[in-house]
Amino acid sequence: MIRLFDQHRIRQVTELEGLWDFAPVSSLDEVPEQYPYRLTVPGCWESHPNFIRYRGQGVYRTMVTMAERSSLRLVFKGVSHTADVYWDGWLMTSHYNAYTPFDTIVRDVEPGEYELRVHVDNTFGEHSGLHVPNDYRTYGGIIRPVVVERVPDFWIERMAFTPKCGWEAEIAVWVRNSSDRTAVAAVRGKLAGEEFDFGPLTVQAGETAIVARTFEFPNAEPWSHEHPKLYALELRLYDGDVEDGGGEPLDDLIERVGFRTVRIEGDRLLVNDREVVLRGFNRHEDHASVGAALPLQLMTQDIDWLERMGANCVRTSHYPNDERFLDLCDERGLYVWEESHARSLTLEQMSHPLFASQSADCIRDMVEQHINHPSIIIWGLLNECASDTAEGRTHFEAQFRQLRSLDGSRPLTYASCHVFKDRCLDLADIVSFNLYPGWYNPESVEEFYRLLRPWVDASGGAGKPFLVSEFGAEAPYGYRDPGEAKWSEEYQARLIGESLDFYLGQREICGALIWQFSDNRVDEEFGSFASRAGNRNNKGVLDAYRRPKLAVEAVRTRFMASTAQERGRSHTHG
């Protein structure tokens, strides 16, 4: 399944899921003579017993049958982490980053059977600035869906929906002309009982043109955590050269959108002009049985656990997530902090020659692909990177600038660990800190916060919303100790409980996100993560199979109580 709703009624879409041929190879351009394995797509190659710890290159192959002549758009939702795509033996495109989608057009394909090969690499080294040995595993393989779309010469590439109070919305549409002649298009849309027209649009051969208009939607109902009302926004593309602008539509695109605003007023975060307190989790896309390639069933299970614990927010630490997970968040009304890909990169790692361009690609793809999800209320970047240095700051400035230019409708943040040293707090709309008192730091939760807060206020953070973006403790599932020894489930439950009691009790803190939702596998190549028990970061309140630890109940009671308190407050204030 690609999305939780159909994106097209006109364009024909086929998902290439199932078993593909697979062969490990020793370099990315090697073409295997034989394919001894059959691996599932989507899937991680680590799911096969021969590749549980494989880091290297591999080639996936499948056959695609065409019954009629047509141009094709091949869409890859995520290949970990580098992909070369060959159609019928020709290299069509290359892409870096496991967590962003990419596509390529194959023009005028005649009826017949064609070989589609994807050469995949998950190694670390000079070619990789963002995937480095880390506290989460960079898995290998085609980890998200692959889609073949039959596209006309003239087609809708994407759209961006930006709601504004009232309700109004700016809708921008990107129309691509893959043909050799200039074309005129007409785009029409339907949303929330309204029909609208964008007027004529001329697109040069081989180019993409953009049209953007603001329309009114007086009958729209707002989207929120409590009432996650979604609407289908349907666009149709017509040949604008046809006299009455009519005829049969050439192409279409459907997105699911919600009417909501996000803004900051002083140190408050407001959704639809109402203050929200974020109660939630950091989550890695990782599961003991399937690695990073969670099927819908397991994603839904995660959402059900989040709901059961009373969470209203999830942070996609530390990379853009699968669209189906974001679709689920839209449906269930979970607020999302989505962040671009980077975790704890040192200044030296940020000085990697590819770091800036690979980050810029990731930010662009994340915003372009996910801008229509109402659940995303915050964009984040550069978790625990070198925001404590002048050189690091130049990267933060550049990335904030890029993110703001792509979407001015959501607040921006980054999670810092540089207590008393950070130099970038002034750049963010929300100040976020990862705080580990009781785990990495000896102070109590309250002591640590009281030490930190005046410094934050004096260092660019004054008057801004403050969010505790991570806190927690490690507890391998089943390690119980009546003396509440560090590393036991009891210790973890107590520390998380105490932290929530304190953070959620402070009006000046706009949210607390627990590190983390479930345990995740780590890269074993690098010293400090190699020492993690069982090769996992065990700070999940669920283990990697989603077995609940004692902390689940500690969280549930706190989140429920805080929700009830918030409801009480909003009733009192009307």
Can you tell me which of 384, 429, 519, 523 binds ligand ADA, judged by CB under 6 A? 384
Would you say 39 and 45 are in contact if contact means Cβ atoms under 8 Å apart?
A: yes
Pattern 496-535, ligand ADA, x by CB under 6 A: -------------------x--------------------
Pattern 44-73, ligand ADA, x by CB under 6 A: ------------------------------
Q: Shortest Cβ distance from residue 471 to ligand ADA (Å)? A: 9
Can you tell me which of 383, 413, 416, 563 binds ligand ADA, judged by CB under 6 A? 383
Q: Shortest Cβ distance from residue 344 to ligand ADA (Å)? A: 6
Q: How is 252-285 classified by DSSP, letter by letter? A: EEEEEE-B--EEEETTEEEETTEE--EEEEE--S
Can you tell me which of 21, 46, 84, 135 binds ligand ADA, judged by CB under 6 A? 135
User: Which residue, 383 or 488, is less far from ligand ADA as judged by CB?
Assistant: 383
For position 138 contacting ligand ADA by CB under 6 A, the verdict is no
The H-or-E segment that residue 172 falls in is: strand 168-177
Would you say 272 and 244 are in contact if contact means Cβ atoms under 8 Å apart?
A: no
For position 387 contacting ligand ADA by CB under 6 A, the verdict is no
Q: Shortest Cβ distance from residue 444 to ligand ADA (Å)? A: 19
Q: Shortest Cβ distance from residue 539 to ligand ADA (Å)? A: 5
User: Which residue, 77 or 318, is less far from ligand ADA as judged by CB?
Assistant: 318
Pattern 225-254, ligand ADA, x by CB under 6 A: ------------------------------
Cα atoms in the Cβ-side hemisphere of radius 13 Å centred on 147: 22
User: Which residue, 224 or 538, is less far from ligand ADA as judged by CB?
Assistant: 538
User: Which residue, 102 or 414, is less far from ligand ADA as judged by CB?
Assistant: 414
Instruction: Tell me: cis bond preceding 418? Omega within 30 of 0 counts.
Output: no
Can you tell me which of 73, 539, 549, 558 binds ligand ADA, judged by CB under 6 A? 539
Q: Alpha-carbon distance 61 to 37, whole Å?
A: 10
Contacts by residues 40-43 (CB-CB < 8 Å, ≥ 24 positions apart) = 41/16, 41/17, 41/141, 41/142, 41/145, 41/146, 42/17, 42/77, 42/78, 42/141, 42/142, 42/143, 42/144, 42/145, 42/146, 42/293, 42/295, 43/141, 43/142, 43/143, 43/290, 43/293
Would you say 259 and 222 are in contact if contact means Cβ atoms under 8 Å apart?
A: yes
Q: Which residue is nearest to ligand ADA (CB)?
A: 135
Question: Three-state SS for 465?
Answer: coil
Would you say 538 and 492 are in contact if contact means Cβ atoms under 8 Å apart?
A: no
Among 131, 132, 138, residue whose Cα is nearest residue 54: 138
Pattern 414-443, ligand ADA, x by CB under 6 A: ---x----------------x---------
Would you say 254 and 233 are in contact if contact means Cβ atoms under 8 Å apart?
A: yes
Would you say 512 and 500 are in contact if contact means Cβ atoms under 8 Å apart?
A: yes
Give the total of residues touching ligand ADA (CB under 6 A): 11
Structure tokens at 246: 């009519």
Q: Shortest Cβ distance from residue 384 to ligand ADA (Å)? A: 5
For position 255 contacting ligand ADA by CB under 6 A, the verdict is no
Q: Shortest Cβ distance from residue 549 to ligand ADA (Å)? A: 15
Among 157, 210, 207, residue whose Cα is nearest residue 182: 207
Q: Shortest Cβ distance from residue 287 to ligand ADA (Å)? A: 17
Q: Shortest Cβ distance from residue 219 to ligand ADA (Å)? A: 43
DSSP 110: P
Looking only at residues 343 through 382 of this chain, which bind ligand ADA when binding is defined by CB under 6 A?
Answer: 343-344
User: Which residue, 77 or 287, is less far from ligand ADA as judged by CB?
Assistant: 287
Which residues sit opposite 274 in a β-bridge? Answer: 271
Would you say 11 and 251 are in contact if contact means Cβ atoms under 8 Å apart?
A: yes
User: Which residue, 124 or 215, is less far from ligand ADA as judged by CB?
Assistant: 124
Can you tell me which of 82, 128, 537, 563 binds ligand ADA, judged by CB under 6 A? 537
Chain residues in the site for ligand ADA (CB under 6 A): 135, 343-344, 383-384, 417, 434, 470, 515, 537, 539
